Structure 1
Amino acid sequence: MSFSTLTLLALSFLPSTLAATGTFSTLTLNVAGLPSWINDNGVPGDKADAATMIGQKFAQYNYDIIQIQEDFHYHDEIYAADNHPFRTKTSGDVPFGSGLNTLSNYNWTTLERITWDECFIADGDCLTPKGFTFMRLQLAEGVEVDFYNLHADAGQEDGDQEARRENLRQVVERVRSVSAGRSVVVEGDTNSLYSRTTDDVGVFGQVGLGDAWVERVYGGVIPTNVPKCPGPTTDNTCEVYDKILYRSGDSVKLNATSFDYVTDMFLQPDGSILTDHNAVLAEFSWSSV
C-alpha cells in the first residue's frame, strides 16, 4: 500500500469539519454628529469637515467592525469618505433617528433597532429615539456573533441616573432572551463609569459579559477609583464612557487580545479634536467549536 493511500485512509477518519479560527478588530466612537447649532461639542472648525475626516480615517485604518453613536446631521459626510462594504442605513437625523450605525467588513443576517423604554428629558435624551441596535454578524461561514451598539441616557440628575440604569438593564434582558448561549459583543456610549456609584455598568456581568478594558488593563479586576479620562487621551488607565464588553458562546469562543484608546488617530491635522469622545479599539481572536 502506497504512502499516499495510507494518508488518504488516515484523513478519512478525521472529523469532516475542523474548528475555524480568526481575528477581528472593533472600534466604538461617538462621532458628535448633532447639528453645530445645537451643540458644537467643542470641535473647532466646520463639523461637516470633521465628519469627512472621521470617515476618511475609518477607511484608512479599516477596522473590521465600527460602531458609532450620535451619527445624526453629518452622516452623509462620514459615509461618503468611508469604504466599508457593509454599512447600516441611517435611521435619520434629529429628531427621527437614533444616531446608531455600524460599518463593517462582515455582513449580517439580522438587524434590529430598539428604543429605550425609559428616558429623561432634561438633557434632550427623549428628543430622539435613542436606544440600541442588535445584529447577528457573520465572521465566517457558520460563525456568528451577536453585536449590540448602544447610546445610554446622559446627564447627572436623578432622572438621568435612573433612566441610564434602566437602559443598561434593558440591553442585559435582550442579551438574556435573544442571545442565550451565543457569543456577544456589546459596545457603545454607556455614559457610565465604574467609578461612579450611581451607575451600574456591572449589571452586564449578570449575562456573563466582561469588559475588554478591565481585562486587558486591570487584569480582570474592576477598578472603582480611577479618574475619568480627559480628551483626547491615549492613557488606558483612566476610564471613559465608551466601552466594549463581550463573552464567548457555546459554539464561538472570543478572547480580547488587545485594548487601546486610539484617540490620537482621530485628530485634525493641527491636533484639534474631531469629536468630544475618545476612540476605543479592541482586537479579538475567535474560534468555532
Structure 2
Amino acid sequence: MMMKHQLLTFLTFCTLGITATAQNKSFTVAAMNVDGMPKSIKVAGIYTVNLNPDAKEAAGATAIGQKLATKGYDYIAVSEDFNYNDQIMEQIGGTYAAGTHRGKINASLAAIANYLAKKPLFDTDGLNLFWRKDAVGVNAEYWTAWSDHHGYDNDGADGLIKKGFRYYLADLGNGQLVDLYILHMDAEVSDGDLAARESQLRQLADDILRINPSRRPKIVMGDTNCRYTRDHLKALFIDVINADPRYTIKDGWVEKCKNNTYPAYGSNALMVDALGYVEGEIVDKLFYINPKYGMQLTLNRFFVDTDFNGADGEPLADHYPVVGKFVAKGTLYDPATYWSGSYDNDAYRAYAQAYDALLPLTRATLKSPLKEELAALLTEHVDAASDITARIAAFRQHLKENMAENYTEDEQTSKLANPSFEQGQRLASGHVEGWTVNPEAMEAFTSGVVDNDEGAAVRDFTLRDGNYIFNTWGGRPAAGFYCRQEVTLTAGWYRLEGTIATDSGFNASLRFGDARLSSGPRYDRHAGCRLELITYHPGGKVIIGAESADWFEADDFRLYRYKAIPTAIESIEADDPSTLRSAQRDAPYLENAQPSTIYDLSGRRLSYPRPGLNIIRNANGTTQKVLIK
C-alpha cells in the first residue's frame, strides 16, 4: 500500500502538470553592496592596508538588516557581505533563508608569505543571496572566481579576496524556475581595471551561453563597477547575449529610465549627483534575459531604493540597492529536452511541458513490470485518466515516429574520458579521472568512484557496467551534485546514453549542453534508469554529464552521432518557398547542412529529419526540401 500511495501521489502530480495552465507570479529582487569590509587589515604587524576607512561596520550592518526586514523583497543579492553578516542575519533571519557565507576578512594576519607573493589572503567572494522562506526558494548554488583581476592591495584591493559571480536556481513555486546570477566585478578605473572588467564580462557571458545554458529566464544583478560611458558593457555583454538566437537581454535601468536607449561609450558620465537616480547611471546593475520560447519575465518597475539612510541622514552604505519588480509568466516548469526546438501547437507544447512528469510512463519504465499497475492506477484513481492516456499515447507515438531507426550512426564514446568510470580508480576520494565534480560535494560529502560491490546500496544499482560506478552520498549540498566533462564535437545530431539512479522522489538528469533529460521522480530507490538524450550540437565545445539535487549514482555513458543520407534534395528560394528549382543530384550527408530549423510539410517543427519530406531552413538563410527514404 505504501508504494501504491506514493505512485498515486506522483500520478496526481502528473495530471496537474498536464492540465493546469501557467500561472503569473509576481516577485521582487534587489541587489545591494552592504559595505561589509573592515576599515583596514594589518599583515604580520608590519603592513597596514586601508580597505574601507568610512565603514560603519557592525552598527551599519545592523541598520541595513533592519531596513531589509521591512522591504519584503523576495530575493536580495548582496556583495561585500564579509565581516558583518551575523548582524544582518540577526535582523532578517526569521523571514529570510541565506546562501553560503564564505567568511570574513580578518583584521590581523600573522602570515606574510601570501601577501608578499600577492596571493589572495581571504577565501571569500563577499557574495550572498537571501530569500523569503514563505514565498520563494532556491534549489542550487555555485560560485566561480573571475579568471582575471587587476590590483592587489591597490586599485580596489581586488586581489586580496576571490571576487567572482554566483549562480542560484531560483524557485518561484508552481514549477517556475529562474537562473539567478549575482556578481561583484573589479573596482577602479585604471587601464588595468578596465581590461579586467572586459575579461570578466566575457567570462560571465560565456558561462550563461556555453557553460551553463538553459531554457529558463535569467536575472543578472550586482555591483558591476561598470558604466556604459567608460566600459564596453554593451558590446561585450548586452550585444553578445542578444546575438544568441536563444535569448534576449535587457537592462532594467535602460528599459525603464532611458527609453531603451543605451548611453554611448565614450560619452560624458551620467553622474547621479547632477542628474538624480532616474537619468543618472550607477554601477549597480539589474539585467534580465528571456529565452526565445517558454516562460517569460516582464519587468514592471525598476528603481533605486534611497531609503537606506541612518538617523543622521547619511547613507548606511556607499551603494543604495537597485530593485526590480517582475512578473513571471509561462510554462510551469522547464521541460527536459528530448527534442530541440519549440512547438507553436498547444498540444505539442503540453507534451513538452509534461515530459519530466510523464517520462517514467514513456521511456524509463516502458518495459517495467510496474507499467500495468501504473495504468491501472491511472484508470482507477485519476479523474483525468482518459486525457492522460490520450496524451501519453500521442507522446509515445511522437517518440516512435522520431526515433532514429532509419538513420545510421557512429559511436563517439571514445570522445568521452572514462565513460564507465573504470579508469583512474579513486575509491570515494573525490578525484574522478576525466570528470569534474562540484567542489562542495567533494569537500562535505562522500563522492567519487566506488566498487560495484561496495555495500547493498551500490549493489542495488541495476544496469551498472564494469567494476566501478560514480557515486555521491551523504546529503544534499546547496549546489546539488554533478559530474561533467567538456568535450569538443563536430556539428551534428547526437544521442547520449547513461544509467542513473537517485533517491525516491527525486530527479537525476543527463546533460548535453543546454539539453537535459530527467529520470522523472524516482519511486524505486537505487534502481538504475537508462536514459537516452537526443539533441543537435552546432559544433565546438559542449558540457556532458549528469546532475541531481540529491545524491545519485551514474555509470556507462555512451555517445553516438547520427548520419542520414537523403536520396534527393530540392532547393527552395528562401524568399519564396513556393518556387522550386529542380536539382536532382547526389546529396552530401545531411550532417553537413547544419540545419537551424526543420519542419514537416504541415509546418510542424521537428527535432531532426525523419523519413519523408522535410523542410530545412539552414543557418545561412537558405531553405531546402529534403526527401529521406
How high is the TM-score relative to the length of structure 1? 0.88
Q: 1:191 Cα deviation (Å)?
A: 0.4
| Amino acid in structure 2 at the alignment position of 1:227 | L
In structure 1, C-alpha distance between the alignment counterparts of 2:180 and 2:262, rounded to whole Å: 23
Q: Which runs of 5+ in 1 are unaligned?
A: 1-14
Are residues 1:255 and 2:276 paired?
no
* Residue matched to 2:600: none
For the Cα contact (< 8 Å) 2:23–2:174, is it kept in 1?
no
Q: 1:236 to 1:202 in 2, by over 3 A?
A: farther
Are residues 1:219 and 2:259 paired?
yes
* Residue matched to 2:66: 56
Are residues 1:101 and 2:128 paired?
yes
* Residue matched to 1:228: 271
| Amino acid in structure 1 at the alignment position of 2:80 | E
In structure 2, C-alpha distance between the alignment counterparts of 1:228 and 1:128, rounded to whole Å: 29
Q: 1:219 to 1:71 in 2, by over 3 A?
A: same
Instruction: Select the residue among 155, 164, 167 that pairs with 1:134.
Output: 167
In structure 2, C-alpha distance between the alignment counterparts of 1:87 and 1:22, rounded to whole Å: 21
Please, what is the CA RMSD of the aligned residues? Answer: 2.0
Instruction: Select the residue among 210, 233, 238 that pairs with 2:280.
Output: 238
Q: 1:170 Cα deviation (Å)?
A: 0.9
| Amino acid in structure 1 at the alignment position of 2:69 | A
Rg larger in structure: 2
Are residues 1:286 and 2:328 paired?
yes
* Residue matched to 1:18: 21
Higher RCO structure, 1 or 2 (CA under 8 Å, sep 6+): 1
* Residue matched to 2:434: none
Aligned residues: 271
Offset from partner CA, 1:149-188 (integer Å, 9 cap, x none): 0100111122111111111111111110213322000000
For the Cα contact (< 8 Å) 1:98–1:131, is it kept in 2?
yes
Are residues 1:188 and 2:222 paired?
yes
| Amino acid in structure 1 at the alignment position of 2:199 | E
Q: 1:140 Cα deviation (Å)?
A: 1.1
Offset from partner CA, 1:60-115 (integer Å, 9 cap, x none): 11211110101111111111111333211201113221000011122211100110
In structure 2, C-alpha distance between the alignment counterparts of 1:99 and 1:242, rounded to whole Å: 15
* Residue matched to 1:176: 209
Q: 1:186 to 1:41 in 2, by over 3 A?
A: farther
* Residue matched to 2:192: 159
**More strand as a share of residues:** 2
* Residue matched to 1:204: 237
For the Cα contact (< 8 Å) 2:24–2:327, is it kept in 1?
yes
Q: 1:210 Cα deviation (Å)?
A: 1.0
* Residue matched to 2:312: 270
In structure 2, C-alpha distance between the alignment counterparts of 1:257 and 1:173, rounded to whole Å: 28
In structure 1, C-alpha distance between the alignment counterparts of 2:123 and 2:89, rounded to whole Å: 19
Q: 1:202 Cα deviation (Å)?
A: 4.1
Q: 1:179 to 1:64 in 2, by over 3 A?
A: same
In structure 1, C-alpha distance between the alignment counterparts of 2:302 and 2:258, rounded to whole Å: 11
| Amino acid in structure 2 at the alignment position of 1:73 | N
Q: 1:201 Cα deviation (Å)?
A: 4.1
Q: Secondary structure at the match of 1:213?
A: helix
In structure 2, C-alpha distance between the alignment counterparts of 1:181 and 1:246, rounded to whole Å: 13
Instruction: Select the residue among 85, 89, 104 that pairs with 1:75.
Output: 85
Q: 1:211 Cα deviation (Å)?
A: 0.1
Offset from partner CA, 1:29-50 (integer Å, 9 cap, x none): 111111023434535xx42101
In structure 2, C-alpha distance between the alignment counterparts of 1:63 and 1:108, rounded to whole Å: 15
* Residue matched to 1:91: 102
For the Cα contact (< 8 Å) 1:234–1:260, is it kept in 2?
no
